Amino acid sequence: MASSSKLRTLVGIVAALFLAIALTGCSSAGSDTASTEQDAASQTETASQAQTAEQSSANGSDESTDTEGTDMQPSSEFMQIAISEAYQGIQAGDGGPFGSVIVKDGEIVGRGRNRVLANNDPTCHGEMEAIRDACRNLGTHDLTGCELYTTAEPCPMCLGAVLWSNMDAVYYGCTREDSAEIGFRDDAFYRQLNGEEETVSLQEFDRDTCRQLFDDYAAGDAQRY
């Protein structure tokens, strides 16, 4: 019987490992250029896509109650743009049906889609791409005040990234069970974190040696985040 604190520690460790791997980014061949071009076009594109999304929302259900995302109420307008990102990725063969948008004060500050296949990189999930894009655009590692719209419930890696980024809220469409139905393993990874099954060996090793590293760091006054 694992205690909840032990589980939290496990979640933290796994998230940290994922992030350590992911720190190198998803900017493989062409991605940086595409991203830069996207940044340049971002403002106008955002406006036009938002209009399109508004139209499709208006033509669809009345769930979107014109909240504009400014008062912490989710807006279908932004989810539509996340869905659009996902479709672009599918059509390009970049990866699965996962798109994300990050919103701050009612404005899109980052966007991303799954590029696992395009980059041969398992960390290039849509949420990770969107977080990197938002951080790059805002010039900070701290996304306090931001909200994430994503087409599917974040996997443990992306949830860890969300926590590290200090975002205020996550709005996801499909559930982890929905993802499992179409062949993705998010639910299995959550089961590992819950101690329900083990898919990778995780064990402490050479702690004392590594503690010296921590002690050296703690002795300084480097910025904590």
Catalytic residue among 37, 45, 77, 127: 127
Give min distance, CB of 54 to Zn ion, in A: 28
Nearer to Zn ion, 77 or 186 (CB): 186
Distance CA 224, CA 204 (A): 24
Q: Which residues bind Zn ion (CB under 5 A)?
A: 125, 155, 157-158
For tokens 């299995």, what's the residue? 188
Instruction: Please check whether residue 28 is in contact with residue 167, taking contact to mean a CB–CB distance below 8 angstroms.
Output: no
Distance CA 116, CA 109 (A): 22
> Any alpha helices (H) in the chain, and if so which ranges?
4-22, 31-59, 76-92, 116-119, 126-138, 156-165, 176-181, 186-193, 207-219
Query: CA distances (Å), 118 to each of 94, 104, 135, 173, 201, in order?
Result: 5, 28, 22, 24, 28
Nearer to Zn ion, 82 or 158 (CB): 158
Closest CA to 108 of 162, 51, 152, 148: 148
Distance CA 43, CA 58 (A): 22
Give min distance, CB of 139 to Zn ion, in A: 24
Nearer to Zn ion, 64 or 151 (CB): 151
Give min distance, CB of 158 to Zn ion, in A: 3
Give min distance, CB of 85 to Zn ion, in A: 14
Beta bridge partners of 108: 103
Known catalytic residue at 127:
yes
Nearer to Zn ion, 69 or 99 (CB): 99
Catalytic positions, please?
127
